[in-house]
Amino acid sequence: MEKSKEFLTDGKLAILLVLVILVIDQIIKIEVKTNMSLGQAIHITDWFYIDFVENNGMAYGMTFINKLFLSLLRLVAIGVIGWYMYKVVKQGVRTRYVVFLSMILAGAAGNMVDSMFYGLIFDASTPFGISSFVPFGTGYADFLTGKVVDMFYFPLIVTTYPDWFPIKGGDEFIFFSPVFNFADASISVGVACLLLFCRKELETVSVGFSFRKRKDE
């Protein structure tokens, strides 16, 4: 009975956290997409801009995998993470572990929403005009091939490479140049917190995997 009660508590917490992160992520993205032209940047401070860009969906704007394949891969990953969370919550793991896993799941799902639906419900964003909602299915891309909206840009240090620096001498150097979104941040914070505060659970997963591998051999 006690384990069942714990499952209900942590399970509801996980669902609530995923929903909250998804709602915040989508509100920010829709606000940016329907109020800014592609490439437009709003200067907040010298080290923080709202800079509207779009990409194929990898974290921090990486784009070296085919879009459709990436979307299918992400769907599989979301399913695996969700199944794993269900199993570990039933086992009564620490709440912090559930919270950090929920952040990762929510971030992955947030970017998946863009890929699944943005191409169906928006016309294309361009540097010359602002995107708007269109009738479902008449947007700029097919299902699973929509682009992910990014907007947070933190050029913490902007300088130039010294002249003596090989190849790059005299070129501009920007410390932390990727543009990312709330979902990316949720994934990154979740992963970092797992590594810092959940070594016990991660070691258990590693030991269990090694044991099953040796057993299969």
Domain ranges of the chain: 10-41+48-150+178-216
As a whole number of angstroms, the distance between CA 147 and CA 130 comes to 15
> How do 172-175 and 41-45 pair as beta strands?
unpaired
Does residue 66 have a pLDDT over 90?
Answer: no
Distance of CA 151 to CAs 11, 16, 65, 83, 184, Å? 31, 25, 21, 31, 11
Name the residue with higher pLDDT: 113 or 56.
113
As a whole number of angstroms, the distance between CA 70 and CA 182 comes to 19
Q: Tell me what pLDDT residue 8 has.
A: 56
Confidence of residue 36 (pLDDT cuts 50, 70, 90): very high
As a whole number of angstroms, the distance between CA 107 and CA 187 comes to 5
Contact status, residue 31 vs residue 151, Cβ threshold 8 Å: no
As a whole number of angstroms, the distance between CA 190 and CA 186 comes to 6
Q: Tell me what pLDDT residue 190 has.
A: 97
Query: In what order do the strands lie in the sheet containing 179-180?
Result: 41-45, 48-55, 148-153, 179-180
Tokens 């592609």 sit at which residue? 38
Q: Tell me what pLDDT residue 65 has.
A: 64
10, 25, 114, 184: the catalytic one is 184
Does residue 139 have a pLDDT over 50?
Answer: yes
User: Does the active-site annotation cover 114?
Assistant: no
Q: Tell me what pLDDT residue 62 has.
A: 55
Q: Where are the beta strands (DSSP E) in 19-59?
A: 41-45, 48-55
150, 163, 171, 216: the catalytic one is 150
Spell out the residues 6+ positions from residue 180 whose beta carbon is closer than 8 angstroms to its own: 59, 60, 61, 150, 152
Contact status, residue 62 vs residue 187, Cβ threshold 8 Å: no
User: Does the active-site annotation cover 171?
Assistant: no
Name the residue with higher pLDDT: 192 or 57.
192
Confidence of residue 192 (pLDDT cuts 50, 70, 90): very high
Q: Tell me what pLDDT residue 185 has.
A: 96
